[in-house]
Amino acid sequence: MSLPLPLDGLSAIVTGAGRGLGRAEALELARLGAAVVVNDYGQPGRDGSGEASAAPAEEVAAEIRAAGGRAVAHLGDVSDHEQARELVESAISAHGRLDILVNNAGILRDRMVFSMTEEEWDSVIRVHLKGHFNTTHFAAAHWRARSKATGGPVYGRIVNTSSEAFLAGSAGQPNYAAAKGGIVGLTTSTALALAKYGVTANAICPRARTRMTEDVFAGFQEPADGTLDPLAPEHVSPLVGYLASPAAAGVNGQLLVVHGGMVAVVERPRVAAQFDAAKETFTFAELDGLLTPYYADRPPNETFAAAEVLGLKRL
């Protein structure tokens, strides 16, 4: 007799699941037993350009079904509040409930901050940060209603997608870095708000070769010997499967970096130094006498020393 799979009987949504990381995550959740709603807006351009198409989501859903899993496709723009509501409702309608939400959908519109247009800023914030909020909002409302109806905690898992661009900076991506930092704030707030209902929320910073990062990793060739690419999305998806599972019930409000067979748990920022005013408040001269020598004695960018220890590089 075969053992039950970790996600047997559970229902999941994965956004941006037509390609790259989202596809690998949807396949992994299905392999672990979940019924999956494969969401993707299907635009061909990584900047969100081109006509929307159901084909990418349909192909991944068909791949899951061909392997013996359960999946339906959903064409929808998660940055649109109403379409996000319809996505969550489609999962409940198709599978009777929603248990897992993996937010992955995103676009890129890179430019230096002094050259970036308002539209380039707004579009990336909208898809990444608002898109994460929209789906989280409707999933959270569903779990809260279920908890109130049953009088106790329910099963709920949220896995959000941040980036090392937030951790270590990315000069040509002020919109992307800001959105990914906002996603971490959204995740920790959501984790606190939903814990009493039995729901966890965590974020990952994945490093993988996808359409979004093809320029970043252009100089890193895939192995010629047929071994798994260290930058393959398949290195990331097992962590998503774990965070979505009952085994991760005690993991909440966390940020984890993952790539190439490595998972790093990132601490929340800690105070590096504290200075107290000699009197009721600081004077300019006092601050100059304290802070100027403090920073003069520290190496540049020491704020991100922890990231350097982990071997993290800017994305």
C-alpha–C-alpha distance, residues 305 and 296, integer Å: 16
C-alpha–C-alpha distance, residues 223 and 201, integer Å: 35
How is residue 130 annotated by DSSP? I
Assess contact for 239 and 263: CB atoms under 8 A. yes
Choosing from 162, 163, 170, 237, which is the catalytic residue?
163
- Catalytic: 163? yes
Q: Which residues of 216-250 are buried (b: 16+ CB within 10 A; e: fewer)?
A: bbeeeeeeeeeeebbbbbebbbbbbbbbbbeebee
Q: Torsions phi, psi of 271, nearest 5?
A: -70, 125
Please report, as a single letter, which amino acid is at residue 300: P
Choosing from 123, 147, 180, 237, which is the catalytic residue?
180
Please, what is the angle between helix 174-194 and helix 131-150, to 10°? 10
- Catalytic: 294? no
Inter-CA distances, 71 with 12, 48, 57, 92, 93, Å: 9, 25, 10, 13, 13
Choosing from 155, 176, 197, 242, which is the catalytic residue?
176
The DSSP-derived string for 259-287 is ETTEEEEEPPP--------SSSS--HHHH
C-alpha–C-alpha distance, residues 29 and 34, integer Å: 6
For the chain, the C-alpha Rg in angstroms (whole number) is: 21
Which positions are catalytic? 163, 176, 180
